[in-house]
């Protein structure tokens, strides 16, 4: 098979040949049963999420649509305080798509899932005519057991501290630099990563962690506004405390962009009780994923606004981004 053809979505021998590739990479005792639905054994409270990925280009510095689809869904579970366990994967593939490229994407998914210790247990494949899918789209859904209870965007309290696990805007900057052909002395890589190691690190603080979000589309600005509105508090952040890599800052200066609204795919925003905030920050910084973590602000009594203390000793309101700064970022 050199390219994907419509026959690969027809349910016959060609489809079976294509599915055999998925089975080879995703092989596990649940998937290998090849049933219409996977039988899962899950105890206690679970989190369940789904997401679709249409990123352009589907290969980018630091990852590809396969890695992104696995890590993105894992991270949605982590942000709810869950330890990821199972994923589904559904593919919509355009006729003419390279089988070699598809296998690379599937391999990337398998590597990401394996590294996270989770299983892809069910899925689906559809093939559409040329010009109807721009290469490949992937939908993933995930299930995980709740490990940190009480984590909700509605649970932030006045006095909570805000921690981010590393520099902002790296995924958006990486995609933008590729699309626009912008080069620097050093490459800008996406921060696409599996955030599940934070579950073990943060579990001892269950009850003290009130909200978590992975700051994807709309960046840090969108996440802070969503949580402030949901919890009915203001969030005050300090510009000089927000970590931004020099490469990202440089790109934003050149293009007149704000790193606050650029997407991330490997950063967790954590609202935590002030009594343990220093200990939580130390715990986050104890693993490589959180080496550049910082405490960037606090929740205060208010009506759902996000306010930044700027580097110029002034204040400015950080609004919810109105639209998509960079379409098809994930």
74-133: pLDDT as tens digits:
999 999 999 999 999 999 999 999 999 999 999 999 999 999 999 999 999 999 999 999
Residues 6+ apart with CB under 8 A from 128: 9, 92, 93, 94, 95
Number of domains present in the structure of the chain:
2
Shared domain check, 178 and 128: no
| Confidence at residue 125, expressed as pLDDT on a 0 to 100 scale | 95
| Confidence at residue 43, expressed as pLDDT on a 0 to 100 scale | 83
Shared domain check, 142 and 228: no
Shared domain check, 224 and 76: no
| 184 pLDDT more than 70 | no
Shared domain check, 218 and 70: no
183: confidence class by pLDDT, cuts 50, 70, 90: low
The reply to whether 90 falls in a domain is yes
The reply to whether 324 falls in a domain is no
CATH of the domain at 203: 3.90.650.10
Question: Among 91, 123, 146, which residue terminates a domain?
Answer: 146
Q: How far apart are CA 13 and CA 19, in angstroms?
A: 10
187-245: pLDDT as tens digits:
789 999 999 999 999 999 999 999 999 999 999 999 999 999 999 999 999 999 999 99
Q: What is the pTM of this model?
A: 0.94
| Confidence at residue 12, expressed as pLDDT on a 0 to 100 scale | 86
Shared domain check, 170 and 308: yes
Shared domain check, 298 and 235: yes
Shared domain check, 219 and 104: no
Q: Which domain holds residue 45?
A: 6-146
Question: Among 146, 178, 197, which residue terminates a domain?
Answer: 146
| Confidence at residue 9, expressed as pLDDT on a 0 to 100 scale | 85
| Confidence at residue 1, expressed as pLDDT on a 0 to 100 scale | 57
Shared domain check, 170 and 114: no
CATH of the domain at 42: 3.30.1330.10
The reply to whether 328 falls in a domain is no
Q: Provide the 10 A C-beta neighbour count for residue 286.
A: 12
Shared domain check, 191 and 130: no
Shared domain check, 166 and 49: no
Strand stretches in 129-240, DSSP E: 136-146, 161-164, 209-214, 233-238
| Confidence at residue 185, expressed as pLDDT on a 0 to 100 scale | 61
Residue whose token pair is 């990821």: 84
Shared domain check, 171 and 132: no
The mean pLDDT value of the chain amounts to: 94
321: confidence class by pLDDT, cuts 50, 70, 90: confident
| 186 pLDDT more than 90 | no
| 33 pLDDT more than 70 | yes
121-157: pLDDT as tens digits:
999 999 999 999 999 999 999 999 999 999 999 999 9
The reply to whether 100 falls in a domain is yes
Residues 6+ apart with CB under 8 A from 295: 161, 162, 163, 241, 277, 278, 281
Residues 235, 227: contact at Cβ < 8 Å?
A: yes
Shared domain check, 261 and 123: no
């Amino acid at each position: 098979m050199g390219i994907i053809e419509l026959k690969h979505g027809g349910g016959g021998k060609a489809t079976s040949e294509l599915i055999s590739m998925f089975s080879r990479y995703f092989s596990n005792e649940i998937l290998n049963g090849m049933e219409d639905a996977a039988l899962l054994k899950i105890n206690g409270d679970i989190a369940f999420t789904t997401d679709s990925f249409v990123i352009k280009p589907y290969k980018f510095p630091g990852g590809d649509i396969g890695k992104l689809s696995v890590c993105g869904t894992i991270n949605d579970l982590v942000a709810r305080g869950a330890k990821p366990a199972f994923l589904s994967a559904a593919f919509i593939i355009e006729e003419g798509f390279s089988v070699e490229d598809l296998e690379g994407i599937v391999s990337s998914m398998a590597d990401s899932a394996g590294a996270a210790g989770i299983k892809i247990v069910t899925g689906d494949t559809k093939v559409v005519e040329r010009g109807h899918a721009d290469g490949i789209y992937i939908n993933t859904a995930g299930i995980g057991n709740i490990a940190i209870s009480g984590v909700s965007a509605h649970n932030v309290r006045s006095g909570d501290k805000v921690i981010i696990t590393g520099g902002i805007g790296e995924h958006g900057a990486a995609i933008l630099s590729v699309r626009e052909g912008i080069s620097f002395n050093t490459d800008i890589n996406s921060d696409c990563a599996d955030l599940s190691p934070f579950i073990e690190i943060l579990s001892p603080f269950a009850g003290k962690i009130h909200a978590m979000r992975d700051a994807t589309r709309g960046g840090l600005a969108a996440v802070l506004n969503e949580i402030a509105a949901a919890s009915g508090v203001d969030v005050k952040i300090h510009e000089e405390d927000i970590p931004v890599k020099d490469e990202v800052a440089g790109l934003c200066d050149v293009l007149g962009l704000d790193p606050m609204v650029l997407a991330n795919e490997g950063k967790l925003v954590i609202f935590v009780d002030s009594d343990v905030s220093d200990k939580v920050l130390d715990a986050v910084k104890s693993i490589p994923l959180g080496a550049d973590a910082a405490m960037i602000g606090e929740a205060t009594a208010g009506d759902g606004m996000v306010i930044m203390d700027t580097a110029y000793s002034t204040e400015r309101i950080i609004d919810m981004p109105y639209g998509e700064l960079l379409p098809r970022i994930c």
